[in-house]
Amino acid sequence: MRRFLERLLGLDRRWIFLFVLLSVAIPIIVPIGLPVTTTESTRKAFDFIEALKPGDTILISFDYGPSSAPENDPMAEAVMRQCALKKIRFIVIALYPLGGLNLANNAVAKVAFEFPDLKYGVDYVNLGYKDGASAVMRRMGDDIAGAFPTDQKGTPLARLPIMKGIASVRQVKLIFTVATGIIGEWWITQVHPQAGTPVIIGPTAVSAPKYYAFLNSGQLVGMLGGMKGAAEYEKLLRARYPEMARFYTSTHDFTATKGMDGQTVMHLIVLLFILLGNSAFLLSRRGMTR
């Protein structure tokens, strides 16, 4: 018994890795379709965008890279789809240096394909990437054209109908930052105080706990925390707009809702390992005290 406990306590971590691999891979191959419950931070984000009027403009900043794309992509796509349905205009930028622009291009192209009525330059625009994240943001607080003189195709902002009346981020109704790392936080701590524009963040699950402090202080309007937040948003979107189901039922496309199956099973596996480790630890300690 003692030897067994010792072996369990010193379990080769590769066994844990194997279980983690299976717990994530199997539900992706064979989806379970588990339900998703919504949280207040996501509902606040959803309700805020729902309350915007057709013709209002929001800014969507791609502040993440390919590494966290499975978590962040569904958030960006869900919000862009909501905008497309509600006729809310969206300005897309990318501030993440490695790969942010590519992800922005892919997401914009995907949503533009899904909603053929959307007119580039009128309903949405892609301003592309600019280096220097916080400096760029501060400049946008005063003058968007100072930071992005043209859109990604090289058209001056003054010639884009969507930019009429939008000189700085003060004029947009919302900043939605889809973020990994520090760039998302800068929108909250540097741009929000300067411009007063409300901010919603879609961080990775790892960063989400930090943003509760900003939610409590009112510096954030809402948050889509990690893949769970994205799945909640997808649920709210489907409940409000049944026609959205077509984007979330295809067996080929990855959605956050599908990703949650794997995450659920993995949580279970990790919990079991923690339970196992603690049982062995407590039993071995009892053995030692005897």
- Name the site residues for another protein (rule: CB under 8 A): 11, 13, 16-17, 19-21, 24, 32, 34-37, 39-40, 65-70, 97-99, 102, 105, 131-132, 134-135, 138-139, 142-143, 146, 167, 180-182, 193-194, 196, 204, 206-207, 209-210, 212-213, 215-217, 228, 260, 263-271, 273-274, 276-278, 281-282
Closest distance of CB 40 from another protein, Å: 6
Closest C-alpha to 91, from 34, 144, 21: 144
Q: Which is nearer to another protein, 27 or 60 (CB)?
A: 27
Cα distances (Å, whole numbers) of residue 261 to 29, 50, 208:
10, 28, 20
Q: Which is nearer to another protein, 99 or 121 (CB)?
A: 99
Closest distance of CB 90 from another protein, Å: 20
Q: Which is nearer to another protein, 132 or 156 (CB)?
A: 132
Q: Which is nearer to another protein, 119 or 153 (CB)?
A: 153
Closest distance of CB 240 from another protein, Å: 20
- Apex CA 65: angle with CA 62 and CA 71, to 5°? 85
**Which residue intervals of 154-220 are DSSP H helices?**
183-186, 192-195, 208-216
Closest distance of CB 41 from another protein, Å: 8
* Dihedral angle of Cα 134, 137, 143, 146, to the nearest 10 degrees: 60
Q: Which is nearer to another protein, 82 or 178 (CB)?
A: 178
Closest distance of CB 34 from another protein, Å: 5
Q: Which is nearer to another protein, 25 or 122 (CB)?
A: 25
Give the integer Cα–Cα distance in Å for 129 and 97.
8
Which pairing describes strands 174-179 and 124-129: parallel, antiparallel, or unpaired? unpaired
Closest C-alpha to 71, from 244, 233, 236: 233
Closest distance of CB 21 from another protein, Å: 8
Give the integer Cα–Cα distance in Å for 114 and 185.
31
Q: Which is nearer to another protein, 61 or 263 (CB)?
A: 263
**Which residue intervals of the chain are DSSP H helices?**
2-9, 13-29, 40-50, 69-86, 100-114, 133-142, 144-147, 183-186, 192-195, 208-216, 226-240, 245-248, 256-289
- Going edge to edge, which strands form the sheet with 89-94? 124-129, 89-94, 57-63, 174-179, 199-203, 222-223
Closest distance of CB 210 from another protein, Å: 5
- The H or E element that residue 200 is part of is strand 199-203
Closest distance of CB 19 from another protein, Å: 8
Q: Which is nearer to another protein, 85 or 277 (CB)?
A: 277
